[in-house]
A and B are shown apart, each in its own frame.
Chain A
């Protein structure tokens, strides 16, 4: 499978716990995006990496959220001290270089905070 993969697919946690998600982009893609999708809404941009550099963060990304892409390949998104409002689908997308290449999305990680 050469698409974008995400792990885990589902995560249930208790409020206050920390969680970490992983995204493996398409191998030749150097751009990586994280989005969050709440019920009944479209995905909303969280953050963007070009190689290992985090070049943009949305205001949605509070201090409890941190994302990394240490070697410019896979990325992790960590949420500390989870809150019920963090319950959502977290989507990862990757893109190649140039101006027209599409973003290809992974299957998402569905987080439920109890």
Chain B
């Protein structure tokens, strides 16, 4: 069975602070994909990043960076110099190869960035 755990239910920061959202996953598959989605108050899930299980290289995209560590089954997401517009619920998700590509989501972390 697959499982994604986002232990942080809510995080509140002040604008310009850095913030890291944690994600721990469980799977028996050797080939899998990890994702982060953003869900603003409007409700639509916005794709942020996909990572393959065989590629542990960390990635940076502007103020966003992702740290993938297979040894600890973690795929953490850091926002540098947070902004009010970053306020949203962030979901980590897992997809195994051959599972019809359906996603298993964590419960999400509500990030509030205060001015």
| A→B interface (CB under 8 Å) | 31, 33, 35, 40-45, 48, 50, 55-56, 89, 91, 93, 95, 99-100, 102-108, 110
Q: Which residues of A lie under 8 Å from residue B103 when comparing CB positions?
A: 33, 35, 43, 45, 103
Identify 12 residue pairs between A and B in the complex whose beta-carbon atoms are under 8 Å apart, listed by A's number.
A31-B101, A42-B4, A42-B105, A42-B106, A43-B45, A43-B103, A89-B43, A99-B101, A100-B50, A104-B47, A105-B45, A108-B43
Q: B102 in the interface, Cβ–Cβ < 8 Å? A: yes
Q: B100 in the interface, Cβ–Cβ < 8 Å? A: yes
- Asked if residues A45 and B107 are in contact (CB atoms below 8 Å), the reply is no
Contacts across chains A and B counted by CB atoms under 8 Å = 56
Considering the complex of A and B, which 9 residue pairs feature the smallest CB-CB distances, nearest first? Answer: A42-B105, A105-B45, A45-B102, A107-B44, A48-B100, A108-B43, A102-B47, A56-B100, A43-B105
- Asked if residues A42 and B102 are in contact (CB atoms below 8 Å), the reply is no
- Majority SS of interface residues in chain A? strand
Instruction: State the interface size on chain B (CB cutoff 8 A).
Output: 23
A43 CA / B107 CA spacing, docked (Å): 8
Q: Which residues of B lie under 8 Å from residue A95 when comparing CB positions?
A: 101
Q: Which residues of A lie under 8 Å from residue B33 when comparing CB positions?
A: 100
